[in-house]
Amino acid sequence: MNLMVINGPNINMLGIREPAIYGTETYQDLQDMIKVYCDEKGIAVDFYQSNSEGDLVSAIQNAWRAQVGGIVLNAAAYTHTSIAILDALKATAIPAVEVHISNVKEREEFRHISRIKEGCIATVEGKGLPGYIEAIDILCAYLQEK
């Protein structure tokens, strides 16, 4: 099984950006946690992060070309605005789980809307970095059922 973890804007600033909301662990800590977990489960995993919407669309399309089995996607702020990312998810039909480190429903009103949700099989939010592990488990269960 091979997965791709795609992260959007400012996720590279973990540990620096609003630690009261996002915690003090860094983006490297996130990658290390996921890599250890995936290694234990025998899952190949690649990472991609960009602050640019078009790059995220390209990463989803490239995942399809590489025949990636599933995507864990934290589109960050683009979650609330990007029809382009939704269209890429729908076009490729790669099973994806939307992840949010914080509980977006307890934050500003504009964060309550997810434009990408329709292109995902599930959403994990408000669980901090371990939410990525839950998303991987959801994807693995979904892919095993197929």
> Largest alpha-carbon pair distance within the chain?
40
Residue among 69, 76, 47 nearest 59 (CA): 47
Count helices and strands (H / E) in the chain: 5, 5
For residues 71 and 97, what is the distance between their CA atoms, to the nearest angstrom?
6
Catalytic residues: 22, 100
**Alpha-carbon torsion 133, 41, 90, 30, what sign?**
positive
Query: Which tokens belong to 97?
Result: 């789980």
For residues 124 and 138, what is the distance between their CA atoms, to the nearest angstrom?
9
